[in-house]
């Protein structure tokens, strides 16, 4: 299992956290996603044979947030 940390711009409340968490955990291959509002980041554990970091970024962008390096 792989792990990545994504910095996320635009989250302002717990509803945002839930939206991002749901978007990530709905992807096939994502085992766990921990989204932290204060740190503005998500730590995602995933199966790299089923999902890529680019897929994670796309899912977050699709629900209205920006991922940055």
Q: Is the per-residue pLDDT at 57 higher than 90?
A: yes
Domain ranges in the chain?
Answer: 2-68
- Say which DSSP state 34 is in: E
Q: What pLDDT, on the 0 to 100 scale, is given for residue 53?
A: 96
Q: What pLDDT, on the 0 to 100 scale, is given for residue 69?
A: 72
Q: What pLDDT, on the 0 to 100 scale, is given for residue 6?
A: 98
Domain 2-68 in this protein, CATH class: alpha beta
Beta-bridge partners for 44? 4, 33
C-alpha dihedral sign at 12, 13, 15, 16: positive
Tens of pLDDT along 3-56?
999 999 999 999 999 999 999 999 999 999 999 999 999 999 999 999 999 999
């Amino acid at each position: 299992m792989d792990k990545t940390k994504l910095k996320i711009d635009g989250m302002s409340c717990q509803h945002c956290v839930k939206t991002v968490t749901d978007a990530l955990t709905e992807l096939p291959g994502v085992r766990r996603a921990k989204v932290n509002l204060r740190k503005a980041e998500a730590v995602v554990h995933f199966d790299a044979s089923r999902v890529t970091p680019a897929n994670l970024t796309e899912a977050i962008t699709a629900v209205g947030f920006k991922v940055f390096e």
